[in-house]
Structure 1
């Protein structure tokens, strides 16, 4: 693969993305998704092994099948759907914005994600051999009559056995689309976005605090690793470092 310099990029919240880094993009479509993406490294999620995934326009990375649902439901979902939801809401990238993704084994990118994971999970030594970066870049909401956009990212990484996810939130300006009851001018109200993880059963799931409530608008200022806008998780056997921190309030993980 082509090597791309990431000089000084470790100081930024988002991992590098876009055409410069050979990213692909999902179709400009309402409730659209990427094709099924075969991945070169096994990714374990709640002890299940996956070798493919979908990048969905509506803020979800899914395993098994795409997700076209635009109004989110709160977790847990018990219908067998298994997915990572950085910000599940009604994105419409036909209006503006792009959903980028790439699989990578670039050495410098692997070194960066390894350093991040080792900092957040110091009890074990992890060396990344694979990373997948999906970025929702300045995406609008369905029915938008405003200039409000969201930029957020999911970073999946693995060494073939251990799996981790970083969720990065650079700028969140809206929480619901018009078809979910949101206001066309503000992107607020209605059924707000859901963020977290769902294994498709009643027991294995995690809701980032504020999910499915108006306070999800503040997700870019919250964290569980003391870095506003970033959440870090081990997901092969689900673990949340430091419990769960929301605006200085400590909670135990579900």
Structure 2
């Protein structure tokens, strides 16, 4: 939150996006970006704002790279907050370094840059609370993303979660339900790294290295 130095965006009841210029470029499956759009619908995009709230199953075979911690209708009628912060030093980098070396051993990784986007108790049309977070981590060579799930109340709107790339050359679907997010409370208990509510992915293996594709 603001007390930790986050830039907070107060919701106004509409579909909104916020452009963030990175201090350090982030490479995502071979494409390097200097900006991201933090969209209030639970989506990070890199080339344009996409505030629409209609999730789609992965692979989408579209023309955008994006990370979707929880793509759904997060319009909160002016009550919730979504926020972001960038880190280039301090305890957040230390923790990111420890986590990545635990989840992806053998790389001698030291984080030099972390970007955190949080959708904190953004309320949907029926006033349920949802807390999700996306974390981008880099050492200038390797790139990783973490997705965190806190409380996610059941909602009646369609939901999608995971990541996708241009042409869906790489993608991963954590969750998708076109009929409503009635099962999303379980997300805080799901994981691919042994920590409930946390998902971790290698999204760039460094120049000259082949990235093993992970698809679901």
Provide the TM-score with structure 2 as the length reference: 0.89
Of residues 42, 48, 68, the one that matches 2:51 is: 68
1:65-92: CA deviations, max 9, x gaps?
A: 0111112111122231111000000101
Of residues 176, 182, 203, the one that matches 1:211 is: 176
Is the strand fraction higher in 1 or 2? Answer: 2
Of residues 171, 177, 190, the one that matches 2:151 is: 171
Alignment of 1:84-123 (within 5 A): 84-123=67-106
Of residues 35, 38, 42, the one that matches 2:25 is: 42
- Write out the 4+ residue segments of structure 1 that deviate beyond 3 Å after TM superposition: 213-217, 237-240
CA distance in 2 between partners of 1:40 and 1:59 (Å): 22
Instruction: Compute the displacement of 1:104 (Å).
Output: 1.3
SS of 1:111's equivalent in the other structure is helix
Say yes or no: does 1:223 pair with 2:203: no
User: Which ranges in structure 1 are unaligned for 5 or more consecutive residues?
Assistant: 1-17, 175-186, 241-251
1:23-45: CA deviations, max 9, x gaps?
A: 112352311111x2111112111
* CA contact 2:62–2:165 (8 Å) conserved in 1: no
Instruction: State the number of aligned residues.
Output: 207
- 1:196 aligns with 162
CA distance in 1 between partners of 2:190 and 2:177 (Å): 15
CA distance in 2 between partners of 1:20 and 1:239 (Å): 39
* CA contact 1:43–1:161 (8 Å) conserved in 2: no
User: Which ranges in structure 2 are unaligned for 5 or more consecutive residues?
Assistant: 206-210
- 1:149 aligns with 129
Alignment of 1:236-251 (within 5 A): 236-237=204-205
Give the 3 Å change call, closer, same or farther, for CA 239–157 of structure 1 in structure 2.
farther
